[in-house]
Amino acid sequence: MTFPLLPYEDSSYAARVDGIFVSLLVLCTVITLGVFAVIIAFCIRYRRGSPADRSHRPSESTQIAVEFAWIILPLLIFIGLFIWAGNVYFEMFSPPADGVAIYVIGKQWMWKIEHATGQREINQLHIPIDRNIVLTMTSQDVIHDFDVPAFRIKHDVLPGRYNTMWFKATKTGTYHLFCGQYCGDFHSLMVGDVIAMSPTDYAAWLQGHGEGTSDTLAADGSRAFHALGCSGCHEGSQVVHAPSLNGLYDEPVPLQSGQVVRADDTFLRDMILQPAKNVPAGYQPIMPSYQGLVTEEQIVSLIAYIKSQKSAASADNPTHP
């Protein structure tokens, strides 16, 4: 049995994350050892009673040059390391548009996974390798943290907010999934597995687990949209003046406050639970709050349905941005 120094590097940017870590570790180690080496050498050479020659002190210009080099060179090195790490961090939290969309809901003490195609899992996440996986995450109760060490992904999962991250697995296998944030008595039991599969096996898994599911998330959202009465206002009502949701997702929305926000997942979630928070310009704040009336799973499906309306609108109107 082998015990690797670091977890396996089985995602597309795991090696770069490890490169940053190792570079920072080596750089700090070299500087620390250099400082201690100078201290020890001076303590021995210039100790009391030492015959070392102390008459030739360095000139003022030499002292300035040494101090300048000691300050500027490490500063430039660390700035370069910061820029490198910042680029990797920015890429990690800038999901690609062609990713496989998967929703993650943290709950004491389990991970609830919902695939856009309707499959649902508890404490397991099946994914294909060599495909971008985009996770949209939220919590149903307290702060959790989605942590897969082998992929070098770790991000807080917050109540009342959507966080997005992405990764691409490069090797098949089963990987540990942890909650990296203390979340209560059974925090240590909030674990699971990420099963990375070949594209063929993943397609077979989707087909095998498609039977008995409640259709896609968008289909579930459509049923909830009509069952909750949303369609009465947002589908061309003659009585209530409400904005159409066709093509709304990810578009700019002017507000009564003068701000312009993007209709992303967080905005749509707020409009369902706190409609008075962001009132669109030209509309009255008459939409009721569904706080306590819908579950987190229903909110996810409603947002998936609104996303599908964006796709439908683009298909009907090819010139739509």
**Cα Rg, the chain, nearest whole Å:** 27
Residue 86 domain-assigned? Answer: no
* Total-model pTM: 0.76
Pairing of β 124-128 and β 191-197: parallel
Q: Which pLDDT score is estimated for 144?
A: 95
Q: The domain that contains 283 carries what CATH number?
A: 1.10.760.10
Q: Which pLDDT score is estimated for 179?
A: 94
Q: Which pLDDT score is estimated for 52?
A: 77
307 in the same domain as 238: yes
Which residues does the chain have with pLDDT short of 50?
Answer: 1-2, 211-212, 313, 315-316, 318-321
Strand-by-strand arrangement of the 144-148 sheet: 124-128, 191-197, 173-179, 144-148, 153-157
Q: Which pLDDT score is estimated for 231?
A: 80
For 211-224, write each residue's pLDDT tens digit: 445 578 888 888 88
Residue 256 domain-assigned? Answer: yes
Q: Which pLDDT score is estimated for 266?
A: 85
105 in the same domain as 204: yes
Where a domain ends, among 191, 208, 225?
A: 208
* Count of the separate structural domains present in the chain: 2
Q: Which pLDDT score is estimated for 91?
A: 87
For 3-55, write each residue's pLDDT tens digit: 566 677 888 888 888 889 889 999 899 989 988 998 999 888 888 878 877 77
Task: Give the span between the Cα atoms of 155 and 194, in whole angstroms.
Answer: 15
Q: Which pLDDT score is estimated for 142?
A: 92
Which residue range forms the structural domain that includes residue 120?
A: 100-208
Q: Which pLDDT score is estimated for 315?
A: 47
Residue 295 domain-assigned? Answer: yes
For 288-311, write each residue's pLDDT tens digit: 888 888 888 888 888 888 888 765
Comparing CA positions, the residue from 149, 150, 144, 148 lying closest to residue 105 is 144
